Amino acid sequence: MKETTFSFIDLFAGIGGMRLAFERLGGHCVFSSEWDKHCQKTYAANFGEVPAGDITKIASRDIPRHDILLAGFPCQSFSIIGNGKGFADTRGTMFFEIERVLNDKRPSAFLLENVKQLVSHDKGRTFRVIVSRLNKLGYYAHWKILNALDFGLPQKRERILIVGFRENLQFSFPKQKKEKPSLRAFLEDHKKVDQKYFASKNIVQKRLEKAKEKAKPTPSIWHENKGGDIGIHEHSCALRSNASHNYLLVDGIRRLTPRESLLLQGFPMNFKIVVSDAQIKKQTGNAVPINMIHDVGREMLKALNREPLSPIIGPKPESQQTILAMGET
């Protein structure tokens, strides 16, 4: 399969981060699905098409054949913020929609993205169920926790990436970049930022008091955790869709603008903003780091253009030992 000729589908598409990454690799999106009306609006403004709605109401026969399935499936039910209910939460069952489409359409490969807590949820049982079911469909699954900070984005955002192939292909996850990204390149000048993004004098003073003993590089992003402690970093902590209003403050004085939030996820400067600030905050908090997805996708395409490994050495794919070994690639 050549890099310029492959097709893909974009499930749980959000605002199209995965699509952007794979289009940059030469792919052609033949179907997208996203139920949130505000995300649909942003997606349509930037890609010229409104995604199909609720995937549970879309028959497999209505989804075109494709080479690669992409899905950043709902993560709230597996995250710390979402109380970690997993499959007990209806959002957690969205994985089974991915399983359905894989079973019915049989693409050559898939890429799934979720929060890193998916691996440890329910003492690892949830993740083992997911990988086991992928194996039973005939796919060889590889997984690894990657950090956006290692792929050119000044945001500490750790995510689990699960890559699968119908054949036993030689695949390795991309290596982290040696140079750390410069936060300054992703931020707007304070003087050009609307005053509505600046925190109140009271909030700024409280942050200063809590952080009075800490070094304060410029630029930096100040992060207040659940315990009220202030972390000051030359990168952003993970953007969160449901975080408090002043969760992250640039230089301790103002919130991120919608454009800055998009840039921290790897969206281009010309990405159109057509919804409210509140919706962009939610959308970027749920988005994928595009640079990281791009680099994983590039390695997937390399693998798809190689001959399958033969003979298969070691235990059967569905065994726990293989699941753990593949996770280390």
pLDDT at 245: 83
67 contact partners, CB below 8 Å, separation of at least 6: 1, 6, 7, 8, 27, 107, 108, 109, 304
7-178+287-326, CATH topology level: Rossmann fold (3.40.50)
Distance (Å, rounded) from C-alpha 29 to C-alpha 64? 10
pLDDT at 310: 61
Task: For tokens 């939030």, name the residue.
Answer: 261
Active site residues: 75
Structure tokens at 283: 């959308």
Task: For tokens 């005939």, name the residue.
Answer: 138
Distance (Å, rounded) from C-alpha 314 to C-alpha 203? 58
Q: What is the pLDDT of residues 180-205, one digit of tens each?
A: 899 999 999 999 999 999 999 999 99
pLDDT at 117: 87
Per-residue pLDDT of the chain (329 residues; tens, 9 = 90+): 544 579 999 999 999 999 999 999 999 999 999 999 999 999 999 999 999 999 999 999 999 999 999 999 875 454 444 444 544 543 447 888 999 999 999 999 999 999 998 888 778 888 888 899 999 999 999 999 999 999 999 999 999 999 999 999 999 999 988 888 999 999 999 999 999 999 999 999 999 999 998 999 999 999 998 888 999 999 999 999 888 888 999 999 999 999 999 999 999 999 999 999 999 999 999 999 999 999 999 999 999 998 787 654 434 443 333 344 345 44
Domain extent listing, the chain: 7-178+287-326, 189-256
Q: What is the pLDDT of residues 243-297, one digit of tens each?
A: 888 899 999 999 999 999 999 999 999 999 999 999 999 999 999 999 999 999 9
pLDDT at 242: 85
For residue 317, the 8-state DSSP code is T
pLDDT at 244: 84
Distance (Å, rounded) from C-alpha 236 to C-alpha 224? 11
- Are 233 and 223 a contacting pair, CB within 8 Å? yes
Nearest residue to 329 (alpha-carbon basis) of 162, 99, 167, 118: 162
pLDDT at 243: 84
Distance (Å, rounded) from C-alpha 228 to C-alpha 295? 36
Whole-prediction pTM: 0.88
pLDDT at 93: 72
